[in-house]
Amino acid sequence: MSLPSKNAIWRVLVTGGAGFVGSRLVRRIETDWENADVTVIDDFRSGDFKNLEGFRGELIANDLADIDLNKLIQANDFDAIFHLASITDTRVMDQRKMCWDNIESFKRLLEFARNRQIPITYASSAATYGIDGKVNVETDERKPANVYGFSKVQLENLAAKYLREPDLAGWKLNAVRYFNVYGPHEQHKGAMASMIYQLYLQMTGGKRPRVFKSGEQQRDFVHVDDAVQCTLLAMNSAKPGVFNTGSGEAKSFNDVIAQLNKALGLSLEAEYIDNPFPFFQPFTQADLSRSKAELGYEPKYYLETGIAQYVKWLQERS
């Protein structure tokens, strides 16, 4: 399908719609499509009701991995599905729990949607690349360093398996591999919110920002509104695929601190601490060639403008 005209009735299912990226996507859809009919499924383990302030659709508060979707909703009611429900805490080491929740949820959604081949755009992750320490393209070998990344690889494998079935070959199952997303509506995530938000809290609390030695680890920090834009464009793609969703640039934690100091009018120096995590990625950067060529994706925010916007948003609500 193509994205509908702005005044069209668009029936959309968003799983994980009370979470960080999911709620931002819901807001975008309901803002841009006046007649959008949105259903959200979320069990609120990593979501927050405050993220759905002003939401005008239907909410199903349930665990997607444990429900029979056909008993709650009808496939005929939807034109598109965005699947963002997931255990997103990368510190979870219970492999059975992580795999059951993330993989089973997707499997049930695929079975629900397959007869009508409802287009599904689903959240994957840069964690699928592991700790390569290089600019990643979608065709790179997937070498996840933790079970979270492993579970996302299995989602991509499941989608590929369905697409190998002759009668499903044209089904639009699109993965968006999110890099380090930050921005409005992540505050409920606590310790799992972005490093940008963690450092903001430290600095506005009068503390020196703490980062791992020596602060030169680099990340592709992508603003949530850019992540949402790429997700919508992936739904609009001409064919199934996997698409990197980042800013296309790598910036260090020292860079983040410098931009936060600038946005906050501070001059706090970093405090460097030891890194206890063996799976910590030293470098991430998305190659956006495919996302730009096939989707027309162009990030709106880079680190300086993204942090400036985010700090303004946070301060307006403090």
Measuring CA to CA, which residue among 252, 148, 151, 238 is closest to residue 196? 252
Q: Enumerate the H helices of 117-243 as residue ranges.
A: 147-163, 195-204, 224-235
172 belongs to the catalytic site: no
Measuring CA to CA, which residue among 224, 218, 205, 220 is closest to residue 266? 205
Which residues lie below 8 Å from residue 316, measured CB to CB, with a gap of 6+? none
In the chain, what is the straight-line distance between the N-terminal and C-terminal CA atoms, in Å? 41
Beta bridge partners of 274: none
Measuring CA to CA, which residue among 130, 68, 142, 65 is closest to residue 102? 65
Q: Encoding tokens for residue 272?
A: 């460097």
189 belongs to the catalytic site: yes
Cβ(112)–Cβ(70) below 8 Å: yes
By CB atoms closer than 10 A (0-12, 13-18, 19+), residue 60 is: middle
Which residues lie below 8 Å from residue 68, measured CB to CB, with a gap of 6+? none
Q: Which amino acid is at 202?
A: Q
Please report the DSSP string for 58-119 in residue order. EEE-S-GGG--HHHH--GGG-SEEEE------TT---HHHHHIIIIIHHHHHHHHHTTTT--
Which residue in the list 122, 148, 182, 301 is annotated as catalytic?
A: 148
Which residue in the list 152, 172, 189, 251 is annotated as catalytic?
A: 189
As annotated, the active-site residues are 148, 189
